[in-house]
């Protein structure tokens, strides 16, 4: 099982679109995929289920917000119990025995960070470090349970920030995938994200040298798989000239950059969530070129993972 967090400090960079289409194409190829929506905007959730269905069937007790809250309420909610299989997308996955499941988000998830912060206070430095590890390992420990071993990939759609919820995702992850627009603001935050990641890993691994009873806490080393440039405009099968300096600037940071891009097409990408089926699973002439490009991007993703 490979756990990949999809993250960028800046919103509006196609993060959810990338996550949904990556997960759908992997499932179409026969992989078992779990999508975990940690973004309070819940865009990934609403890409697969309609808001009225979410309100009737999920909002009360089947969202990631409820799972985080269960710790503060001194009750243990099994994360696997809130996994759903969006029915609309199943027929589009073909017959390769792939699966695409989802853990839904909640618009109130933004408040969970405050609750997690209250758990971090400790009377002594040692107690504070133990609480730090307990809070930050919460998602990692849950995803390590046997009920999640059936998945080949867990893709986490992170919020556009570096709060405690985001940090729990990174601690649980093997890899990070960074979607970005080729513009000043989107690329500006990539180096800052990398430095924040390095600081989190350093702090966590320093604390992890403590032992909890007889159990040793493992160090973490999430790897940046690469930056995927999204919402790209092309001329002559190349990114337009105005975008190329930002791509090169990102490469000069020493951050891996995917060779494949996601093309901008507001109408096609915007219509797909209303149907509950990501664009990559559509089979019509108007989307064929974009679908082919997403397929190439997913192939590069697998190559980078040496699969």
Question: Which CATH number does the domain housing residue 241 bear?
Answer: 3.40.50.300
Could you report the per-residue pLDDT of 41-95, keeping only the tens digit for each? 999 999 999 999 999 999 998 999 999 988 766 677 899 999 999 999 999 999 9
What is the reported pLDDT for 9?
82
From CA 297, how far away is CA 167, in angstroms rounded?
26
Residue pLDDT, tens place only, 112-146: 888 888 888 766 777 888 889 989 999 999 999 99
When pLDDT is averaged across residues 253-280 and rounded to a whole number, the result is 86
CA 253 to centroid of chain Cα atoms: 23
Q: Is 97 left (phi over 0), alpha (psi -120 to 50) or beta?
A: left
In this structure, the number of other CB atoms found within 10 A of the CB of residue 203 comes to: 14
DSSP helix, strand, coil percent of the chain (3-state; round to 5):
50, 15, 35
When divided into structural domains, the chain yields a total of: 1
Helical H segments across 49-152, by residue range: 51-53, 64-72, 112-118, 125-136, 138-143
According to the model, what pLDDT value does residue 210 have? 67
How does residue 165 score in pLDDT terms, banded at 50, 70 and 90?
very high
| Predicted local distance difference test score (pLDDT) of residue 269 | 78
**pTM of this structure:** 0.94
> pLDDT over 90 for what percent of the chain?
66
Q: How many CB atoms neighbour CB 247 within 10 A?
A: 17
d(Cα 34, Cα 14) in Å, to the nearest integer? 19
Of 265, 269, 268, 249, the C-alpha closest to 257 is 249
Domain span at residue 248? Answer: 2-304
Please return the burial class of 104, using the count of CB atoms within 10 Å of its CB with bins 0-12, 13-18 and 19+.
buried
Mean pLDDT, range 160-173, rounded to an integer = 94
d(CA 97, CA 152): 12
Q: What is the pLDDT of residue 270?
A: 75
Residue of higher predicted confidence among 98 and 115? 98
Residue 74's pLDDT is 66
């Amino acid at each position: 099982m490979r756990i990949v967090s999809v993250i960028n400090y800046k919103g509006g960079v196609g993060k959810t679109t990338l996550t949904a289409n990556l997960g759908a194409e992997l499932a179409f190829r026969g992989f078992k995929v779990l999508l975990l929506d940690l973004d309070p905007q819940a865009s990934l959730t609403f890409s697969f289920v309609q808001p009225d269905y979410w309100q009737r069937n999920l909002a009360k007790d089947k969202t990631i917000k409820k799972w985080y809250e269960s710790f503060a309420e001194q009750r243990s909610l099994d994360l696997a119990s809130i996994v759903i299989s969006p029915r609309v997308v199943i027929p589009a996955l073909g017959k390769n025995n792939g699966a695409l499941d989802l853990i839904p988000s909640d618009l109130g998830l933004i408040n969970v960070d405050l609750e997690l912060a209250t758990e971090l206070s400790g009377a002594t430095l040692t107690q504070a470090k133990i609480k730090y590890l307990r809070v930050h390992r919460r998602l990692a420990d849950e995803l390590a349970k046997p009920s999640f071993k059936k998945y080949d990939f867990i893709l986490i759609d992170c919020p556009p920030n570096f709060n405690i919820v985001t940090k729990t995702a990174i601690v649980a992850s093997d890899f990070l995938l960074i979607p970005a627009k080729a513009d000043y603001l989107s690329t500006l935050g990539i180096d800052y994200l990398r430095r924040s990641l390095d600081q989190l890993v350093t702090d966590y691994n320093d604390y992890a040298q403590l032992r909890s009873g007889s159990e040793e806490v493992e160090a973490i080393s999430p790897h940046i798989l690469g930056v995927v440039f999204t919402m790209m405009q092309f001329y002559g099968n190349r990114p337009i000239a105005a975008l190329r300096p930002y791509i090169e600037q990102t490469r000069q940071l020493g951050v891996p950059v995917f060779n494949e891009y996601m093309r901008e097409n507001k109408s096609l990408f915007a219509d797909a969530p209303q149907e509950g089926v990501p664009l990559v699973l559509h089979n019509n002439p108007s989307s064929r070129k974009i679908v082919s490009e997403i397929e190439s991007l997913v192939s590069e993703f697998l190559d980078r993972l040496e699969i």
